[in-house]
Structure formats: structure tokens, C-alpha cells
Amino acid sequence: MKFLLFAALTLALARSAAGDADHGAPIVRPTVRGPATGLADSAALRATVFGTPPQDIAPMPDTVPVLEIDIPMPWRQKVPGIFWYDKKLRVWFSGQNKPAPLVIVIAGTGDDGNSSSVATLRGALYGDGYHVLTVPSPTFPRFIVAASRTGVAGDLKQDGQDLYDSIERIVAHLPRKVRISDIDIVGYSLGGANAGIVKSIDTREGRLHIHRAVMIEPPVSLFASMERLDKLFAQSIGSGDAGVERLYQRLFAQLANFYRASDRVEIDQSFLLAAAAAVLTTDQEFSAAIALSFRIDLMNLFLAGDIYAKTGAIADPNHPLEVGQPLEHIEEELRTKPFDDYFTEVFAPYYLKHRPHSTPASLIADNNLNIIGPALSSDLDYYVQTNSDDLILNQAELEWLKSTLGSRIAVYDHGGHLGNLGDRRQVADMLDMLAGRWQGGS
Amino acid sequence: MRAFLACPVLLLCGCVSSGIVTHRLPDETPAADNAASIKKAEGLAATKKTVEMQEKSSTEPPPLTPADAPPMSTYDPWERFNRFNYRLNARFDEAVFFPVANGYRHLPSPIRTGVNDFFDNLAEIDSIINYTLQGRLGRGVRSLGRFVINSTLGLAGLFDVATHFHLEKAPTGFGTTLAKWGMHPGPYLVIPILGPSTLREAVGLLGDYGTSYGINVADLYRGDQGWGLGVLNAVDKRAGVDFRYYSTGSPFEYDTIRFLYVRKLLLQDAGLHKTQAPKPPSGAPAGE
């Protein structure tokens, strides 16, 4: 039975590695300095990789109840064989025992609705007296398969509509004893942009009556950011699979040497954390970690989109991938494919066909937060939190957010991308914004 | 027990519900978790410091270079069989193993800790034998000390008293012994119910079980209660692991788990050879 523990521990490691590597979103190449403060990028990259230090985390409640809900969506398309396990959308709900406002939390790029970032927000919100419903990013494979109408993720409007309809259905099926007095929405990274779009759809359709939206470190121009990420990958890892292999070999050797020297018997999560801190030391290594974790998210998105859109870029539409078939050659091919390929080979062909009068340029223009610019500037229930050294924003985008939101934006000096999610200041401001008592930055 | 075995068969018939399914998960404890993270962070800083100091010592074998890293692809000649087992395990876990373990996790924590410590204490016997076979006598003596203290002061292993005497848990098994003797992990193997393994580790597992069965402490393994204890042990181990099949949502999950599992094994193998006599810098690369 010892083996079971061993196997199980490894599985746990796999999960922690998969879960904690997800820092979400598109990243600008590191040569761009933090716009407002001029902080060295090193600090922003480091914060992005390691996240908020535990001693800076906001006060958390002792216990948070969590209900896991698997719910089918009636508009789901026919599920491709290799996604057989993703038929229902999985979401998580933490309910108060009394009537309370509900906060819906949308995860960032490639994240499930139960990632470590989501859990941090859930703790903070539940502790402040909210019911909390957490949902995956529309770029998460299970969402794509179980709740997307197109299977081609990454379009702000389409993803927003799929999210909105899913949330309406989930809220209608929450346990009967749950009494909801008000509904607010929060999202981080790409989920921040999704949250804003969902609120704007609700303003038009009025089925949920979402009150306030807090968008935490959202991107402004989705595809411009993604292309900068491709450059980050090329700069820090190199193009093609050889670069990934070189990175792997270097990390393996460093980890092995660290393990030998550390006199530890088990390779567990705390070992990996210590090892990561020892092994990842240069800006190039931080950049590589960020670029690679995004590429791994992109691989799932790419394959799913290709199969649903039947573009044939990866899988032959006439010979669908079978359950149980080896996928290593596909994995290798996808590792070398940047976001730019996803756009030109899958995303654009699909949406150009399904949206009359659209052009590649119009698709790019539509995937910008400025499509809800008027609402962001005139509706006083939208709030934004961001960092002046956030890697996913450039100076012009940050300025656009500041001028559009006016007094409803909090800009922190340091944190990179999501490197201050859950810290005392961010949480306190978020709670003030949700309660409508935020007085503006000091 | 028969019902236990029948479950995977039923699952293969596809009796999976199509409606809304909910699981009440155990409460999260963010305040305590965060306090633990702070403490752990201090420990990690200490580990990092010791490692940095140790790396300067010259008695170590030469450090691994990137050229020594094993290839990224994994030897998996039985891939279709393994993928079949992985799916089987996922279905079994979702329908039986996880719900049972999830229910178990709602029991008060002192009970679960007692059960966990009890089984870990029994496993010390196997650790003592295997540390001896590996020629790591110091660690063998530590396991022996733990077993003696916990079996007596710890009331038949229900309490892990030895940890308070700074004798930390450090289990090993026959798979590690085979690695120490120089055996390569062999082809990847997904075992029904148990999960990822390799040929060597599967042999190690049989060795560990054979040892326990042969020694048969207090008739716990061969008596009528053997099956019941085996199931309780399995549920206890499953409950201690925060993993859900297909929680990545990714069609590459099989590949990811295979990569991480085997890489972890190879890292541990490389670590096992650190106590060898130092080799000249021009010698063969360390590690397998």
C-alpha cells in the first residue's frame, strides 16, 4: 500500500504543478519597463512567478464550506471523443447560512474555477459575508467542451455570452435554501475582462441584475498582449521544440543537484517550492516560466478549437482523434505553435466564416476592452484594480483604463501580473468596491 | 469486498448520471493554511541555505549537467493498455473512490490522523528492512526507533509520538531498494485502481506487500480483517491526496502525469547515488 501513497503523492504534485503554474494571462515582453514607476522588470517578473508572499495575505476566515457542482448545459455541442470526461461544467459554491449578496468569481486564462488564485478570493469574500460562486475561465478546456456554443475560445463577446447564460443556469439551480440579496461579479486577469463583458450583457438582457463588477488586472487589447507573449516565449525559450528541450534539461539537472544536496527523502510540494526558488533566479528564467505556463494553457485551447472548427490545422477532421490514442506527436507539435498560429489557423477562419462582414482586423478590434468603454466610463458600478508594473499592460493601455474609469480604478505600484492578488491592500479595496464604499485611491 | 470489485465493471457499462451532481467537499481552512504557509516559507529558506552551503563541499559526486538529463519522452511501450487503465481509474475514482474518500474526510481530524499514523507505523517494518537492504543503516535505525516508540508510547501506532522526538517520518520501500541496486525504472505502467507506476515500482509494490503479508504483524494481513483494513488503508491514502482525475480538463493529462511521475522517479534515483564515493571529475556522469 505504500505504493499507493507514492503514486498518490505524485498525482498531488502533478496537480500542484499544473495549478500553481497558471498565472493567467498574456504578458508583455520583459524589455518594456513598468510604465508608471519605472520599476525594474525583474521585480515584476519575480512577483508574477511567485505570487503574493503568505505573510502579506489578507485576514482569512477559519473555515469555508465548498460545494462542488457538476451541471450540464443544454446548448452543449456534441462532445469529441477525446474530451469524454468534460461533459458537464464544474463550478464551486460557498454559501452563507443567512440571506447574503452573491459574488461570482471568474478565473483567469486557462484556470479552473478552483485554482489557488480563486481559492484566495473565495476565502476573502466568504469571510466578508458573501455567498461565493466560482466558475472556470471560458478558455479552460472543461468550459470549452461543456459550456461553449462554438468550441473556439478567446472571443470576448462569444465567451461572455456563454458565461452569462451558464451563470444564469447555475444560479437558478443553487440549493433551494440559499437566499441571495444581491449579485456582484469579480474576475482576475482575462476573467476580469470577462466579468466586465458579462455585466454589460446583463445591462442589456437584465436576467441576473448584476450590481457591481470588480475587474482585477484585466488585459485591454487581448490579441496584442498575446502576440507580445509569443515574443516573450521566443526570447526566453527560443522557437521550436529544441528550446523547450534545452530548458527542460537545464531544469532537470538543477533540480537533481538541489535534491541531492538537500538530504530530503520525499519530493513533495514544499521541496518543489524550495527548488523553484533556488532554480529560477534570472529574468530569463522567470520569463521562461511565465511563457511556458501560458503555452501549456494555449495547447488545450488550440486543440479544442481545431477539433470544433474542423480546420485541420492539427487534427484531420476526417479521421477524428480516438480515445486512448497516443498524443505525444500532437503535444510536440502544439508546443511549437504560438498564439499567432491559433489566430490565423483556427480563430480567424472560424469567426470570419460565422460573422458576415468581419475581417481579421475587425476581429482584433472587437477583442478589446474598449468595446464596453462607454459603460466603463459612465456606469458607476464598474471598478478596476491593476498594477503600474502589470506585465500585461503597456503605458497607453494603463492610461486608457485610468481615464475611462476615473476615480473607480485603484493602481498599485508593485505586483507584476497577479503578484499581489490576495494581499491586504488589494482585498480591502476590493471589498470596499463591492460594498460601494470605496473612496478612491489615497 | 465483492461489491468493491464489481464497481469498475458497472462503470464500464456507462452508468453515469446525466443530471446535476453535487459533492459537499470538506471545509477549506484558509486561515490555518496561510499560517502553515508562513511557517513553511521559513523552513524553505532554511533548506535553501543548507543546500547552498552543502553545494560548496567537495566530497559530493560531480553535479549533473543538462547533458545528463533523461530524454523528455517516456518509454511507454504499453501505452494503449495504460491509457485504458487511466480511463478506468478515472471512472472508478469519480464514481466510487473519490466519493468514499470525500465522505471519510468529513470525519473528525483526530480519528483520521490516528488511522493514518497507524498504517504509517505498520509500514515502518518494511522501511527498516529496505533501508537495511539499501545499506542505509542510519535511516534503518531511525525507522526502527520510530516503530518501537510509536508502537508503545504511541498506543500501537495510533499516535506519531516519535516525530516529537525529532525522528521524522521517512518511509522507503522495495522499489527504492531496486533503484539503489542500480535498476532502471523500466517501462511506464498504469495499474488499475492504484495509478501511475513503472515496471520496477510495480515489482517493488509486490515486494512490499509480500513482506507485510509474510511477516503478518498481529495477524493483521492474513486474518478475516485483512480485506477491511486494506480498504480502510486505501481510503485513508486517497483522502490524503488532493487530486481529481481530469481536473486539468486537458486531453494531455495522461501525458502530463506520465511525464511528472517518471521525472520525479528519476530525480529520486539521481538523489540515491549521492552517497557514493566521489568520482574523478572526468568520470562517468552521475545518475542513471
Q: What percent of chain A has pLDDT over 70?
A: 89
DSSP bridge partners of B116:
none
CA distance B247 to A17: 12
* CA triple B262-A265-B272, angle to 5 deg: 65
The minimal CB distance from A262 to the residues B37, B51, B242 is found for B51
Inter-chain CB proximity A267 and B264 less than 8 Å? yes
Inter-chain CB proximity B243 and A265 less than 8 Å? no
Q: Report the 10 Å Cβ neighbour count for B280.
A: 7
* CA triple A50-B28-A427, angle to 5 deg: 50
Average pLDDT over residues A187-191: 96
CA distance A333 to A237: 16
Q: What pLDDT was estimated at residue A30?
A: 34
Please say if the pLDDT value at position B180 is more than 80.
Answer: yes
pTM: 0.87
Average pLDDT over residues A179-186: 97
Q: What pLDDT was estimated at residue B100?
A: 95
Biggest CA pair distance of chain B: 65
Q: Report the 10 Å Cβ neighbour count for A205.
A: 12
Please say if the pLDDT value at position A232 is more than 50.
Answer: yes
Inter-chain CB proximity A15 and B67 less than 8 Å? no
Give the 3-state secondary structure of residue B179. helix
Rounded to a whole number of angstroms, the distance from the CA of A93 to the nearest CA of chain B is 10
Residue A326: its chain B contacts at CB < 8 A? 79-80, 83
Q: What pLDDT was estimated at residue A3?
A: 32
The minimal CB distance from A256 to the residues B52, B64, B251 is found for B64
Residue with grid cell 520525479, as numbered in its chain: B264
Biggest CA pair distance of chain A: 64
Q: What pLDDT was estimated at residue B55?
A: 56
The minimal CB distance from A259 to the residues B60, B175, B267 is found for B267
pLDDT by residue (tens digit) across A58-103?
Answer: 999 999 999 999 999 999 999 998 999 989 999 999 999 999 999 9
The span from the first CA to the last CA of chain B, in angstroms, equals: 41
* Amino acid letter, A235: Q
Residue of A nearest to B127 (CA): A2
Q: Of A212, A216, A220, nearest to A409 (Cα)? A: A216
Q: Find out whether B285 and B218 touch, Cβ atoms under 8 Å.
A: no
Residue with grid cell 473565495, as numbered in its chain: A122
Average pLDDT over chain B reads 83
The span from the first CA to the last CA of chain A, in angstroms, equals: 58
Q: What share of chain A is helix, strand, coil (3-state, %, to 5)?
A: 55, 15, 35
Confidence of residue B17 (pLDDT cuts 50, 70, 90): low
Q: Find out whether A107 and A191 touch, Cβ atoms under 8 Å.
A: yes
Q: What pLDDT was estimated at residue B68?
A: 83
Average pLDDT over residues A172-176: 94
Inter-chain CB proximity A11 and B60 less than 8 Å? no
Q: What is the CA radius of gyration of chain A?
A: 21
Cα A195 to the center of its chain, rounded Å: 12
Residue of A nearest to B70 (CA): A249
Q: Find out whether A111 and A18 touch, Cβ atoms under 8 Å.
A: no
Rounded to a whole number of angstroms, the distance from the CA of B270 to the nearest CA of chain A is 6
The minimal CB distance from A69 to the residues B22, B244, B257 is found for B22
Residue A18: its chain B contacts at CB < 8 A? 248, 256
Inter-chain CB proximity B250 and A327 less than 8 Å? no
Identify the CATH number of the domain in which residue A61 sits. 3.40.50.1820
Q: What pLDDT was estimated at residue A411?
A: 96
Q: What pLDDT was estimated at residue A252?
A: 85
Cα B190 to the center of its chain, rounded Å: 14
Rounded to a whole number of angstroms, the distance from the CA of A376 to the nearest CA of chain B is 33
Residue of B nearest to A330 (CA): B252
8-state DSSP, A442:
-
Please say if the pLDDT value at position B4 is more than 90.
Answer: no
Confidence of residue A27 (pLDDT cuts 50, 70, 90): very low
* Structural domains of chain A, count: 1
The minimal CB distance from A274 to the residues B47, B84, B240 is found for B47
Burial A404-434 (b: 16+ CB within 10 A, else e): bbeebbbbbebbbbbbbbbbeebbebbbbbb
Q: What pLDDT was estimated at residue A291?
A: 85
Q: What pLDDT was estimated at residue A351?
A: 95
Give the 3-state secondary structure of residue B51. helix
Average pLDDT over chain A reads 86
pLDDT by residue (tens digit) across B221-247?
Answer: 887 888 888 899 999 999 988 888 999
Rounded to a whole number of angstroms, the distance from the CA of A67 to the nearest CA of chain B is 5
Q: Which domain holds residue A236?
A: 1-442
Q: Of B262, B80, B171, B161, nearest to A264 (Cα)? A: B171
Could you please report the per-residue DSSP string of A303-356? HHHHHHHT--SSS-TTSPPPTT---HHHHHHHHT--HHHHIIIIIHHHHHHHST
Lowest-pLDDT range of A172-186, A290-304, A401-415: A290-304
Residue A110: its chain B contacts at CB < 8 A? none
Residue of B nearest to A268 (CA): B264
